[in-house]
C-alpha cells in the first residue's frame, strides 16, 4: 500500500461519493494521478504545535455566484447578528457563507442545528482555523 502525508485545509469536494481532492503532487506520489478518481483511505495523524487554536463555524452554503452568497449572508446577519462570505480562490472560485466562530465543535453543531431547523437549508460544521482568504465580513447589532 502507498501512503502520502497531506495537510487538509478546506472542506470539499462537493461531489457525491468523494471525500477529498488531492493535489497533483500527492496523487502522483500515490500513483493515481492519471486515474482522475480513485479509492483512498484517510487517517488523521494530528496537528502541529504551530497550528492556531481550532475554531468552528456553521457553513450554510457554497456559491459560484458571489452576489447570491452576499444576499444569503445579509439575510443571515439580520437573523443571527453575524455572518461571513469567504471567497476560496483555490476551490474553483466558490464563495462560502459561514455563521459564527466557536472554540468547540459542540457549540457550532448547536448553531448549525438551529439554522437548519429555522432556515431549512443544509448546514454543517467547518473548521475556520486560518484567516480566510478574502473575507467579506458582515455583522449587525443583535
The yes-or-no verdict on residue 95 having pLDDT over 90 is no
92 and 126 assigned to the same domain:
yes
The yes-or-no verdict on residue 81 having pLDDT over 70 is yes
The yes-or-no verdict on residue 112 having pLDDT over 80 is yes
The predicted pLDDT at position 97 comes to: 86
CATH of the domain at 117: 3.30.70.1070
19 and 60 assigned to the same domain:
no
The yes-or-no verdict on residue 35 having pLDDT over 80 is yes
12 in a structural domain: yes
Instruction: Give 120 or 128, the one with higher predicted confidence.
Output: 120
The predicted pLDDT at position 82 comes to: 73
Q: Write down the pTM of the prediction.
A: 0.56
The predicted pLDDT at position 48 comes to: 62
| Average pLDDT for 20-33 | 83
40 and 61 assigned to the same domain:
no
The yes-or-no verdict on residue 87 having pLDDT over 70 is no
| Contact present, 97 and 88 (Cβ < 8 Å) | no
Domain that holds residue 16: 1-46
41 and 60 assigned to the same domain:
no
61 and 121 assigned to the same domain:
yes
83 and 41 assigned to the same domain:
no
Residue 77 sits at φ, ψ, to 5 deg, of -60, -40
41 and 61 assigned to the same domain:
no
| Average pLDDT for 30-52 | 77
The yes-or-no verdict on residue 85 having pLDDT over 80 is no
78 and 130 assigned to the same domain:
yes
The predicted pLDDT at position 31 comes to: 86
63 and 41 assigned to the same domain:
no
22 in a structural domain: yes
18 and 80 assigned to the same domain:
no
4 and 69 assigned to the same domain:
no
CA–CA distance, 59 with 38 (Å, rounded to integer): 27
pLDDT band, very low/low/confident/very high, at 118 (cuts 50, 70, 90)? very high
Domain count, the chain: 2
40 and 60 assigned to the same domain:
no
Q: What is the 3-state secondary structure (H, E, C) of the chain?
A: CCCCCCCCCCCCCCCCCCCCCCCHHHHHHHCCCCCCCCCCCCCCCCCCCCCCCCCEEEEEEEECCHHHHHHHHHHHHHHHCEEEEEEECCCCCEEEEEEEEECCHHHHHHHHHHHHHHHCCCCEEEECCCCCCCEEEEECCC
51 in a structural domain: no
Amino acid at each position: 500500500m502507498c501512503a502520502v502525508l497531506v495537510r487538509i485545509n478546506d472542506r470539499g469536494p462537493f461531489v457525491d461519493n468523494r471525500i477529498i481532492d488531492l493535489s497533483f503532487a500527492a496523487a502522483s506520489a500515490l500513483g493515481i494521478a492519471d486515474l482522475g478518481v480513485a479509492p483512498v483511505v484517510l487517517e488523521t495523524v494530528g496537528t502541529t504545535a504551530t497550528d492556531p487554536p481550532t475554531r468552528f463555524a456553521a457553513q450554510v452554503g457554497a456559491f459560484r455566484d458571489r452576489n447570491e452568497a452576499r444576499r444569503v449572508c445579509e439575510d443571515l446577519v439580520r437573523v443571527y447578528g453575524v455572518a461571513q462570505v469567504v471567497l476560496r480562490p483555490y476551490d474553483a472560485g466558490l464563495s462560502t457563507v459561514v455563521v459564527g466562530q466557536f472554540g468547540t465543535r459542540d457549540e457550532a453543531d448547536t448553531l448549525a442545528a438551529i439554522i437548519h431547523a429555522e432556515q431549512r437549508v443544509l448546514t454543517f460544521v467547518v473548521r475556520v482555523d486560518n484567516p480566510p482568504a478574502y473575507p467579506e465580513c458582515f455583522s449587525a447589532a443583535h
